[in-house]
Chain A
Amino acid sequence: MSGVLYSVALQWKLDIRSKSLFVTCYVVPLIFFLLMGGIFTSVMPDMRSTLIQSMIVMCVSMGAFIGLPPSLIETYGSDIKKVYKANGVPVYSGLVTMFLSAFIHLMIACSVIALLAFVLFEAVLPAQLPTFFFALAIYLIVSLSIGSILGLIIKNQAKLTMIAQLVFLPSIMLSGIMFPIDLLPDFLEMAGRVFPAFWGYRLMLNSGFCLENLWYLILVFFAAVIICGILLKKQKLE
């Protein structure tokens, strides 16, 4: 157990040092939040009721799809994975460590966004904070599980930059955080439902924590676990 805690704490420090996860979990989402928070609440004061949830979707999507995969590629796309085998450590340890570290980073960033939104832009705080954070944790886990697939399946950073955008941009544009989804054509509205951001956003809204918004996220999570398991098994056999 102390080995796992040491690994997660070390990974947490490495994520900050490597800057890629630090920038995508903290710097860019916070700058985006400060700019968009100011604009949204000035132009559309009603946005104050959903500002926290929408900015969190942006932060989680960026951290999970653009921040986590490079760390996984650094390990599983190189000789670093041999370190696990050489020390008799299961090959999935790296994934678990990086997943937990990214989860903590994003949880901190989302909490900072929620607090600053309330203080700076008079955003409405969620009515039930424990339920809100539970919904956030579920949404985070599902998003990171998709980020894990990207990191395990893509072998180099250049390809990742392109492919991660194909998940990140629709998550932001089609989830309803930028503008009401009713304004979109039907096919784009349907496409938006494919991405966990659509469901995660609804799950975090007041009175949104229900099976209707939850089932798809659970399904995606289990599918992602199976895919990651297969990809890791393949790594082990290599």
Chain B
Amino acid sequence: MNCAIQVRGLRKSYGSHMVLKGLDFQIEKGEVFSLLGVNGAGKTTALECIEGLRNYDSGAIIVNGKIGIQLQSSSLPAHIKPMEAVGLFAKWNRAKIDRSMLHTLGIEEIEKKQYIQLSTGQKRRLHLALALISNPDIIFLDEPTAGLDALGRVSLHEQIRKFKSQGKTIVLASHDMAEVEALCDRIAILSHGTIVFCGTATELTDKVGKKYVIHIKTQQGDGTFETDNIEDTLISLLGELKQKEIHVSDIKVDRGTLEQHFMEMTGREAE
């Protein structure tokens, strides 16, 4: 079976408020997958149901493999030391401690500090190490780079790519669209409790209308133009500028970021 996670008709309500209205999607083995959604879309609830942290009302979730969950930075006792937490998780999972993994994540450097004394980045690294203790097949990462400096982000992105190269499946929850675009093979967009899109970033771009943004710099000023037809618009713009004898000093074409497409998709849904 090539499917790591299969979600079918997942429904969840809090009282009379239905948060998940029948989600259907699947995550393939070895891919980096992200579930996106604005705050309140039901993303955390959906992920917690898949992780087994939350009960759901109906539907089915099939998980093929051992999972490791990177929890948020408030989920350990204030006075525990990193290596004590590692030891505890190893006992619970009947796993051997992988010293090289701890070294890579820099856990040994912070072993004398208590959890409460760790910086946000150090807490994230510790939670990632704890998620990896059991050598899971599927890793859930919740905002893994939030609060990290540029170096920390690059290092973590490398780590995620390394997991992927080892054949692990990664489910990423992030608000950082650039990060999602750089790391993920496929994304699902959740809006008002339903999946409004599931596919690659390129497929999303195609779906929202192939929107291009043209930035033109001239001696008389700068201009930005949005279009779905890049060829005709460029010919027409450059022709007009030539006719008016305006010299173009720079020209740049963007195909729109994932963030723009995401906003469009969730915005459309809201309308």
Convert A60-81 into 0s and 1s, putting 1 for each residue whose CB lies closer than 8 angstroms to a CB of B.
0000000000000011001110
Name the residue on B nearest A94 (C-beta). B77
Q: B71, B74, B92: which contacts A88 (Cβ < 8 A)? A: B92
Is B69 on the interface with A (CB-CB < 8 A)? Answer: yes
Is A183 on the interface with B (CB-CB < 8 A)? Answer: no
Contact A89 B55 (CB under 8 A): no
Name the residue on B nearest A3 (C-beta). B91
Is B72 on the interface with A (CB-CB < 8 A)? Answer: yes
Q: A10, A17, A82, A85: which contacts B88 (Cβ < 8 A)? A: A10
A237 to B76, CA, bound (A): 21
Q: A14, A82, A88: which contacts B77 (Cβ < 8 A)? A: A14
A10 to B85, CA, bound (A): 9
Count contacts on A: residues with CB < 8 A to the other chain: 22
Chain A residues closer than 8 Å to B88, beta-carbon distance: 6-7, 10
Is B78 on the interface with A (CB-CB < 8 A)? Answer: yes
Contact A75 B77 (CB under 8 A): yes
Is B52 on the interface with A (CB-CB < 8 A)? Answer: yes
Contact A85 B79 (CB under 8 A): no
A93 → chain B closest CB, angstroms = 9
Name the residue on B nearest A6 (C-beta). B91
Convert A1-23 into 0s and 1s, putting 1 for each residue whose CB lies closer than 8 angstroms to a CB of B.
01100110010011001100000
Is A83 on the interface with B (CB-CB < 8 A)? Answer: yes
Is A86 on the interface with B (CB-CB < 8 A)? Answer: yes
A5 to B79, CA, bound (A): 19
Name the residue on B nearest A5 (C-beta). B91
Contact B91 A2 (CB under 8 A): yes
Contact B80 A10 (CB under 8 A): yes
Chain A residues closer than 8 Å to B51, beta-carbon distance: 86
Q: B71, B78, B87: which contacts A6 (Cβ < 8 A)? A: B87
Chain B residues closer than 8 Å to A75, beta-carbon distance: 77
A127 to B88, CA, bound (A): 43
Is B114 on the interface with A (CB-CB < 8 A)? Answer: yes
Contact B79 A17 (CB under 8 A): yes
Q: From residue 47 to 80 of chain B, which have CB atoms closer than 8 A to chain A?
A: 51-53, 55, 69, 71-72, 74-80
Q: B71, B87, B91, B114: which contacts A83 (Cβ < 8 A)? A: B71
Contact B53 A89 (CB under 8 A): no
Chain B residues closer than 8 Å to A85, beta-carbon distance: 52-53
Interface residue range, chain B? 20 to 34
Contact B53 A86 (CB under 8 A): yes
Convert A27-57 into 0s and 1s, putting 1 for each residue whose CB lies closer than 8 angstroms to a CB of B.
0000000000000000000000000000000
Name the residue on B nearest A237 (C-beta). B55
A13 to B80, CA, bound (A): 9
B177 → chain A closest CB, angstroms = 25
Contact B114 A86 (CB under 8 A): no
Name the residue on B nearest A74 (C-beta). B77
B178 → chain A closest CB, angstroms = 27
Q: A7, A17, A237: which contacts B114 (Cβ < 8 A)? A: A17
- Of listed B55, B69, B80, B92, residue having the most chain A CB within 10 A: B92
Contact A82 B75 (CB under 8 A): yes
Is B84 on the interface with A (CB-CB < 8 A)? Answer: yes
A18 to B116, CA, bound (A): 11
Contact B92 A3 (CB under 8 A): yes
Contact B69 A86 (CB under 8 A): yes
Is B89 on the interface with A (CB-CB < 8 A)? Answer: yes
B189 → chain A closest CB, angstroms = 25
Contact A82 B53 (CB under 8 A): yes
B271 → chain A closest CB, angstroms = 34
Chain A residues closer than 8 Å to B75, beta-carbon distance: 78-80, 82-83
A96 → chain B closest CB, angstroms = 14
Q: From residue 118 to 161 of chain B, which have CB atoms closer than 8 A to chain A?
A: none
Q: List 10 A-B contacts (CB under 8 A).
A: A2-B91, A6-B87, A7-B91, A10-B88, A17-B114, A75-B77, A78-B75, A82-B71, A86-B51, A87-B89
Given A18-B79, A75-B77, A86-B69, 17 more A-B residue pairs with CB atoms under 8 Å apart are A2-B91, A10-B80, A10-B84, A14-B80, A17-B79, A17-B114, A78-B75, A80-B74, A80-B75, A80-B76, A80-B77, A83-B76, A86-B52, A86-B53, A87-B93, A88-B92, A88-B93
A-B pairs with lowest CB-CB distance, top 7: A17-B79, A3-B91, A79-B75, A87-B92, A86-B69, A6-B91, A85-B53
